[in-house]
């Protein structure tokens, strides 16, 4: 790994617009020590007249607590409601 790939001050965001998911595990290379949070957005869909968007958040527990993830999702929901 070189340059930008070695940075630890990032968050990996990605999207999977092809379909819905209920759970996801991000591939990891355990030979490389990192604690970079990984967030994936799925395909938005309608259910019971509500627009839903699957989101997967994977983060190392020593950096991010469940409260932090809950606050992120709360804020994201507030932005989506605007």
Task: Tell me, yes or no, if the pTM score tops 0.85.
Answer: no
Per-residue pLDDT of the chain (82 residues; tens, 9 = 90+): 566 666 777 888 899 888 788 877 777 766 667 788 889 999 999 999 999 999 999 888 888 889 999 999 999 999 988 8
Ramachandran class of 40: left when φ > 0, alpha when ψ lies in -120 to 50, beta otherwise: beta
Contacts of 25 (CB under 8 A, 6+ apart): 58
- Domains annotated on the chain, with CATH: 3-81 (3.30.559.10)
């Amino acid at each position: 790994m070189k340059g930008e790939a070695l940075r630890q001050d990032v968050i990996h965001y990605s999207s999977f617009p092809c379909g819905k998911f209920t759970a996801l595990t991000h591939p990891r290379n355990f030979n490389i020590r990192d604690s970079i949070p990984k967030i994936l957005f799925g395909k938005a869909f309608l259910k019971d007249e509500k627009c839903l968007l699957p989101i997967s958040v994977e983060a190392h527990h020593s950096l991010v607590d469940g409260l932090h993830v809950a606050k992120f999702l709360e804020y994201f929901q507030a932005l989506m409601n605007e």
